[in-house]
Amino acid sequence: MIVYLYDGSFEGLLCSFYRALKTEDDPEEIVSREKGLRPLASEVREIDTDRDRAGEVHSGIKDEISSGAARNVKYCYLSEKSGIEIRLLEYLRLGFHSGSSLDDKLDQDPVFEIHQLARKVGRERHRMLGLVRFREMERGGYYAPIEPDYNIVGLLAPHFSSRMRDQNWILHDRERDLAVVYNREEWVLTKLDGDELPQYSTEEGLYQHLWRRYFDSASVPGRENEELQRQYMPRRYWDNLVEVD
């Protein structure tokens, strides 16, 4: 049984696909080095990460299958679901065979599974576009802590860089110690220790207070439905919000 070991990056994963598709390897598993190996693995192949090669694979998926398929691959990778790498390889094998009609073949394994997972990641991304809460820092600029289920902080960056264009901000995934930092011109994805929180400005407290007051006043008495509220806005997100305890 052949097992691929890659560095855990998206580029590394794309290089694993390249090798699997170009050789007779037929790996049984593709595993990130961080996650470690199962002891049973007999034949381990180390995959080198080559950015140019990864770029080729990525445009190959876009050109020969579709940009939707390329997005599905990226989103599933960001789900960090264990074992998803090999399912993505199966998806791409089918894709390079069938071309742009790949995503209509919901009855062929693993198309539907990939779609479902990509959709979950997309849903969390969309949900988070609303649930991110920036706080004004004492030293200027804004800071927002998040703890999403999936590794989506990078997917949020384009939205907030075009929206919050004229302010500096940091969007911080405190679980994964990852952050997007934006300086009014461009954003970068970088490592950032999750333990320390910045000092907030004095005005910050006022607007948080006003927002809480607004939130409480906006509910219509006689229509309470907290179950519905939690369905849309699950509890696990509440820690990083401002308006709910």
Residues in contact with another protein by the rule CB under 8 A: 101, 104-107, 112, 126, 129-136, 142, 144, 160, 162-167, 203, 207, 209-211, 213-215, 217-220, 222-229, 231-233, 241-244
Give whichever of 37 and 244 is closer to another protein, judged by the CB atom: 244
Question: Are the beta carbons of 158 and 182 closer than 8 angstroms?
Answer: no
Cα(181)–Cα(24) distance, integer angstroms: 42
CB of 99 to another protein, least distance (A): 13
CB of 216 to another protein, least distance (A): 8
Give whichever of 36 and 130 is closer to another protein, judged by the CB atom: 130
Cα(127)–Cα(117) distance, integer angstroms: 15
Edge-first strand listing for the sheet containing 29-32 = 29-32, 2-6, 43-46
Give whichever of 196 and 226 is closer to another protein, judged by the CB atom: 226
Output phi, psi for 222, to 5 deg. Answer: 95, -10
Question: Are the beta carbons of 154 and 127 closer than 8 angstroms?
Answer: no
CB of 226 to another protein, least distance (A): 6
Give whichever of 44 and 164 is closer to another protein, judged by the CB atom: 164
CB of 165 to another protein, least distance (A): 5
Which residue type is seen at 111?
Answer: V
CB of 57 to another protein, least distance (A): 26
Give whichever of 21 and 233 is closer to another protein, judged by the CB atom: 233
CB of 115 to another protein, least distance (A): 9
Cα(118)–Cα(128) distance, integer angstroms: 15
Cα(77)–Cα(75) distance, integer angstroms: 5
**Nearest Cα to Cα of residue 144 among 226, 200, 76, 60:** 200
Give whichever of 46 and 226 is closer to another protein, judged by the CB atom: 226
Q: For the purposes of burial, counting CB atoms within 10 Å of the CB of 150, is it exposed (0-12), middle (13-18) or buried (19 or more)? A: buried
- Token pair in block for residue 3: 């097992």
